[in-house]
């Protein structure tokens, strides 16, 4: 889980940096468009990783609950 969390943090930081860069260089349309596309790609990857992390978390919770049930008997 640590690797996914680190990847999410890295993507979020990259998104923030790109958004700041787009804001300061808005006069350069083509560069801005390219960076906007990068931001959209990074945001989609971040969303995908968030979904995967949530699925893993749910799976782990179910597994832990099953193990607790087995160990209690």
pLDDT digits (tens, 9 = 90+) for 11-49: 888 888 888 877 776 666 677 788 889 999 999 999 999
Q: Which residue has the higher pLDDT, 22 or 8?
A: 8
Report long-range pairs for 56-61 (Cβ below 8 Å, ≥24 apart).
56/1, 56/4, 57/1
Angstrom CA distances, 33 to 21, 22, 37, 63, 66, stand at 12, 9, 6, 45, 50
For residue 19, what pLDDT is reported?
82
Q: What is the pTM of this model?
A: 0.57
For residue 36, what pLDDT is reported?
86
Q: Is the dihedral of CA 18, 20, 25, 26 positive or negative?
A: positive
For residue 62, what pLDDT is reported?
94
Determine how many CB atoms are found less than 10 A away from the CB of residue 66.
10
For residue 65, what pLDDT is reported?
93
């Amino acid at each position: 889980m640590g690797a996914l969390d680190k990847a999410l943090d890295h993507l979020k930081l990259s998104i923030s940096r790109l958004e700041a860069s787009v804001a300061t260089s808005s006069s350069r349309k083509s560069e801005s468009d390219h960076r906007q596309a990068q931001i959209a790609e990074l945001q989609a990857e971040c969303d995908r990783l968030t979904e995967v992390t949530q699925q893993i978390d749910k799976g782990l919770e179910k597994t832990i609950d099953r193990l607790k049930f087995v160990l209690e008997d």
